[in-house]
A and B are shown apart, each in its own frame.
Chain A
Amino acid sequence: MDLLTELTILILAAFVGFEVISKIPNTLHTPLMSATNAIHGIVVLGGLLVIGPATGTLDELILVIAIAFGTINVVGGFLVTDRMLEMFRKKPTPPKDDSE
């Protein structure tokens, strides 16, 4: 991919990121932070892609740690977010508008 295509994708993704989060109740700040935190664990893909061509013990060690770190980030992040959000489920009457 050429640089300009990548920059295009990057900038558009930035605007989507800004727009998607424009208005949120305070209640959801923490779960939302935690969920976005899990999403950046996508860097685990980088570890998976680079370990193929990698040779040498040090490179492999670095990448195994990277993959382990990325996995912790993804798996742990989504699970923790789910646990936080689970608590909102038991509410007797889910409010439509809880904070504005």
Chain B
Amino acid sequence: MKDFLQDPDFISAAYIVAFSLFIIGLRRLTHPATARQGNKIAAAGMAVAVFATLCDPIIDDWPLIILGVVIGTAVGVPAARNVKMTAMPQMVALFNGVGGGAVALVAWAEFRHAGGDIPLEEMIPILFSAIIGSVSFWGSNIAFGKLQEILPGRPIMLPGQTFINAALLLVAIGCAVAIAAGEESEGLFIAILISAAILGNMVVLPIGGADMPVVISLLNAFTGLSAAAAGMALDNTALIVGGMLVGASGSILTNLMAKAMNRSIGNIVMGGFGGTVAAPAGAADEEGRTVTSTSADDVAIQLSYASQVVVVPGYGMAVAQAQHAVRELSQELEKRGVEVKFAIHPVAGRMPGHMNVLLAEADVPYEQLKEMDEINSEFSRTDVSLVIGANDVTNPAARTQADSPIYGMPILNVDESGAVIVLKRSMASGFAGIDNPLFYDPKTSMLFGDAKESITQVLGAVQEL
């Protein structure tokens, strides 16, 4: 039995099973009805791959392996179990980061172990995975910091940033070329890791919060590519296929997300999104435009006597955990014969699908969730649009102000509806740091306060009517 399990052919065959399961799992993940099962299938594939690898006779450092796995499980399981739905995007960023870190560390260890005896066809993938893994680790950590609001969400930019980035990349590649050319210095390898680390920081810091989902997805694809490269260095088919599947599907996904915002990936990475806009955003308030604020009772009346209400949820709803209150309000309104629909912008929240997940959690029926293309034609027939903590995705500047950084991004045309009610904590600008003319529109009224409390008050007022 032992001989059989340690047979390289058994291990290779098990890897074939493993990556077949990955592919089947991914396929199922693209349909809502089979998605959960797909995730489990992919996880089973991972279990097969790990089990087969542990059968390899090269594995003998059991105490250390168990130590690593125990630490990883002790950190990963509670983190995944306890994270709030609203903090999900940060969690994905963090998990992606440690994956990239693992790639870079494996590459480093393999370099130290094999020294200068590595043939070029293995050395190049090792160097590649060191650079990309390190960029991905640090970039993801910055993305986490920004989403968690440890770091300011606003773009942070140095003068000559592009030049510095290019120089850092050149340093990393230069060291890599020197090593590949036969200079077997570990110092150079560490220089690669460090310059790639700084590069990872520098690339993500200037990117505004609104673009963060796209960046996380891009870094996810990068980590996949670096894992595939590590697989080439280690002659491991499971790593090559698993990594490349992620690299390829991740880039498709990144592209889809970027498209939903009408921005190219290059545009986002070259960054500075929102950087120059912060100033006009502040100045705009001094032009004497006025904001109308309203009360829960007024909102209740407006909503109860409307024939169609469109709810536009955003990150504010997620932060306030208002989704259950929103569902109750929508049921209450429906009882009164009001048609309630939810308009879901593809990038509302901090990640595509963020709002769908939250509303599904609150049992909002699926048929009520409308995607942007479907709902945009309906705003002109809508009496009241209820914007709950959404900002940038409703900003009419995206249609009208050619100098706005979000110009051209498809938005939800709430300004076409009869009246707009915006629930917001304060007049602070959105995550992208851009001023929103919608708030100064005469037909817009603002209900300030925590979204959940406001909705609960409105609900109470509706019930009393």
Contact = CB atoms under 8 A, between A and B. Distances in A.
Contact size class for B?
Answer: 35 or more
A40 B223 contact: yes
Interface in A10-68: 10, 13-18, 20-54, 56, 58-60, 62-68
Given A14-B248, A18-B249, A26-B371, A85 B366 contact: no
B367 interface: yes
B240 A10 contact: yes
A90 B360 CA distance: 8
Nearest to B370: A99
Nearest to A48: B53
Contact of B246 (A29, A36, A78): A36
A39 B106 CA distance: 17
B130 to A, nearest CB: 12
Given A13-B228, A30-B357, A92-B365, A18 B73 contact: no
Dominant secondary structure at the B interface: helix
A21 to B, nearest CB: 4
Interface stretch (B25-33, B172-180, B440-448): B25-33
A6 to B, nearest CB: 5
Contacts of A23: 30
B56 interface: yes
Interface of B: 19, 22-23, 25-27, 29-33, 35-36, 38-40, 42-43, 46, 49-50, 53-54, 56, 58-61, 64-65, 67-69, 71-73, 75-77, 79-81, 83, 85, 88-89, 91-92, 95-96, 98-99, 101-103, 105-106, 108-110, 112-113, 121, 216-217, 220, 223-224, 226-228, 230-232, 234-250, 252-253, 256-257, 260, 344, 346, 351-354, 356-357, 360-361, 363, 365-367, 369, 371
Interface of A: 1, 3, 6, 9-10, 13-18, 20-54, 56, 58-60, 62-96, 98-99
